[in-house]
Amino acid sequence: MAGFTVAIVGRPNVGKSTLFNRLLEQRKAIVDDVSGVTRDRQYGVADWNGKTFNVIDTGGFVSKSDDVFEREIRKQAKVAIEEANAIVFMCDVSTGITDLDSDVADLLRRTSKPVYLVVNKVDNPQRQLEATEFYSLGFEHVHFISSMSGSGTGELLDDLVANITEDMGDATAETDVPKIAIIGQPNVGKSSLLNALIGQERNIVSDIAGTTRDTIHTRYNMYQKDFLLIDTAGIRRKAKVQEDLEFYSVIRAIKAVDEADVVMLLLDAEKGVTGQDLSIFSLAARKGKGVVVLVNKWDVMDKGTNTARDYEKELKKRLAPFSDVPVIFTSVIEKQRIFKAIEVALEVYDNRTRKIQTSKLNEIMLKAIEAYHPPVVRGTPIRIKYVTQLPTHTPAFAFFCNLPDDVKTPYRNYLENQIRTNFNFTGVPVKIFFRKK
Ligand code: GDP
Ligand code: GDP
C-alpha cells in the first residue's frame, strides 16, 4: 500500500483550490522553493499531526471552457473514485445544490471509498443554517467549512487522517530490494526504456503486473544487483478510463513516487524541463526519495563541444536548491547510457541508505563550523556543539546548539553543502534539524 491520496472534486468556483492551498499551507513555501513553479499547483503533500498524505486538486485538470466542463468534472470524479483513497466532494453553500452537484453525488455514492461532502463558504451562522440542505445528498461524512477563513478545516483534516494507518506511511519498507520508478511526461521514452532493458536483460525474475497493482513492478537482476522497476508507462494503455486524461497519469505518477526509493525522471532533451516535471521532482524531494534525471533523446540534439555541460548547468539552475542530482544524457533508441542510468540509480539508492559514523561526522562538520561560524543573534553567538545523523529512513542530521530557532536558511544551506561535499549524498534530499543541546 502506497501513500494516502485525497482528491478534491467539485464544480468550478466552489473553492477547491482555496482549500487545497490551505491544506498545503505549512508546506507551500517549501514546495514553491524547490520547484520554482509559480503557476497553480495541482498536487502536493499535506501534513496533519504527523501524518502526511497527497492532495490533488482536480480543478487544475479541468479545461476552462464552459461547454466541456460538465463532462470533464464527471470524468475527474470517476478517476478519483478509481484512483484516490478518499474523496473530498466540495459544494458551495452560496449556490445551493445544483444539478451538477446532484449528478456527481450520484456517482460518488456508489463507491465504497470514503467520501467527504464538504460544503464550502459557510462563513457565518446564516450560511450554517442554509448549509443543512446538503444533508439531503445523503452522505455519511458532512463538513461545513470556510476555506477562506479556515473554519472547519481542522475537523475535516482530523477525519481524513483517521483513514491513514501507520503502515501506509512508507511503502518502501515492504522489501529490501531497491525500487526505481520510471517517471516522465507522455512520449519522453518511458516504455522504450523499459523495452530496451527487458530486451537485453533476460534475467527477469518475475513480472508482477497484477490487476490490483496501480503500477507495474518488474523485478530485474543486473550487475549482481536485484531491483524492482516501477513503471507508469504501460498504464495508459491498460487504462479503463479516458486515455489521455492528464489527471490519470499524474495520480499514477504520484503513486509510483510513493512506492519508489529512487525516481528516474525522464525529460525530452529538446523540450527541456516542464512545470509538471518540476512538480514531480519537488514531490520526490519532499518525500525524501532519491532522484536521477535522464535527459533522453539526446541523439536528436545538435552537439557542440559544451552542449552537455551547458545543458546540465541550466537544468540544475531549474532544480535548485536541490541540485546535487545526477544528470545522464541518454538515447534509448541508440541504447546510449541506459545501463549507466540504472547503475547511477542504484548508487543513489546506496547514498540514500548511507549512515555516517558520528565521530567522523563531528570531526568534519565541527571543523567546517569552526571555519565559518553561524551569525551572532541579538549579541549572542550561536554555538553548535555536536551533530548526529538521525536513525531515519532517509538522511537527516541533527545539529545541537544553544539557539536552534535562530539558525537561518543560508547557514542551513552552508551545512548541507558541507555534508554533501564531504560525504556522498548525490541524488538524495538531506534534512537538517537544529535542536537544543
Ligand atoms: P475552484 O474553482 O473550485 O478551485 O475555486 P477557487 O478556490 O478558485 O475559489 C473560487 C472563489 O470562491 C474565489 O473567489 C475564492 O476566493 C472564493 N472562496 C473560496 N473559499 C471561500 C470561502 O470559504 N468563503 C467565501 N466567501 N469565498 C470563498
Ligand atoms: P512514453 O510515452 O514515455 O512511454 O514514450 P515512448 O517510449 O512511447 O516513446 C515515444 C516516442 O519517442 C517513440 O516514438 C519512441 O520511438 C521515441 N523515442 C524514445 N526514446 C527515444 C530516443 O532516445 N531518441 C529518439 N530520437 N526517439 C526516442
- Ligand at minimal distance from the CA of 12 is 1
| Type and span of the H or E element at 45 | strand 43-48
- Tell me the Ramachandran region of residue 218: left when phi exceeds 0, alpha when psi lies from -120 to 50, beta otherwise: beta
Torsion of CA 12, 15, 21, 25, to 10 degrees: -170
Question: pLDDT band at 303, cuts 50/70/90?
Answer: confident
Question: pLDDT band at 66, cuts 50/70/90?
Answer: low
Q: Is 431 annotated as a binding residue?
A: no
Cβ contact 44:27 at 8 Å: yes
Q: What is the pLDDT of residues 136-185, one digit of tens each?
A: 999 999 999 999 999 999 999 999 999 987 655 444 445 678 999 999 98
Cα-based angle 350, 354, 358 (whole degrees, multiple of 5):
170
User: Hey, is 374 helix, strand or coil?
Assistant: coil
Cβ contact 143:118 at 8 Å: yes
- Of 368, 282, 90, nearest in space to 384 by CA: 368
Q: How many A from CA of 190 to the centre of ligand 2?
A: 7
Q: How far apart are CA 168 and CA 149, in angstroms?
A: 31
Cα-based angle 70, 73, 76 (whole degrees, multiple of 5):
155
Question: pLDDT band at 8, cuts 50/70/90?
Answer: very high
Which whole number is the average pLDDT over 107-119?
94
**HSE toward the beta carbon, residue 99, CA cutoff 13 A:** 2
147 Cβ below 6 A of ligand 1: yes
Lowest mean pLDDT among 61-70, 187-196, 338-347: 61-70
Which positions ≥6 away from 52 have C-beta within 8 Å?
Answer: 3, 45, 46, 169
Assess whether pLDDT exceeds 50 at residue 189: yes
Question: pLDDT band at 211, cuts 50/70/90?
Answer: very low
Atom of ligand 1 nearest to the CA of 94: 26
Neighbours of 386 (CB within 10 A): 15
What is the pLDDT, as a whole number, of residue 429?
96
User: Hey, is 206 helix, strand or coil?
Assistant: strand
What is the pLDDT, as a whole number, of residue 37?
38
The overall average pLDDT reported for the chain is 84
Assess whether pLDDT exceeds 90 at residue 221: no
User: Hey, is 183 helix, strand or coil?
Assistant: strand
Cβ contact 283:43 at 8 Å: yes
Q: How many A from CA of 263 to the centre of ligand 1?
A: 35
Q: How far apart are CA 264 and CA 342, in angstroms?
A: 9
Which whole number is the average pLDDT over 103-107?
92
Q: How far apart are CA 280 and CA 318, in angstroms?
A: 13
Cβ contact 140:107 at 8 Å: no
Q: What percent of the chain has pLDDT over 90?
A: 57
What is the pLDDT, as a whole number, of residue 175?
62
Assess whether pLDDT exceeds 90 at residue 36: no
Cβ contact 104:71 at 8 Å: no
Q: How far apart are CA 423 and CA 355, in angstroms?
A: 10
What is the pLDDT, as a whole number, of residue 373?
93
CA 220 from chain centre, in angstroms, equals: 25
Write the ipTM: 0.75
User: Hey, is 152 helix, strand or coil?
Assistant: coil
Which residue's C-alpha cell is 455519511?
A: 140
User: Hey, is 122 helix, strand or coil?
Assistant: coil
Cβ contact 11:94 at 8 Å: no
- Ligand at minimal distance from the CA of 195 is 2
Question: Which one of 28-32, 34-38, 299-303, 398-402 scores highest in mean pLDDT?
Answer: 398-402
Q: How many A from CA of 13 to the centre of ligand 1?
A: 6
Tell which one of 13, 146, 151 to mutate to probe ligand 1, the residue whose CB is within 8 A of the most ligand atoms. Answer: 13
Cβ contact 262:290 at 8 Å: yes
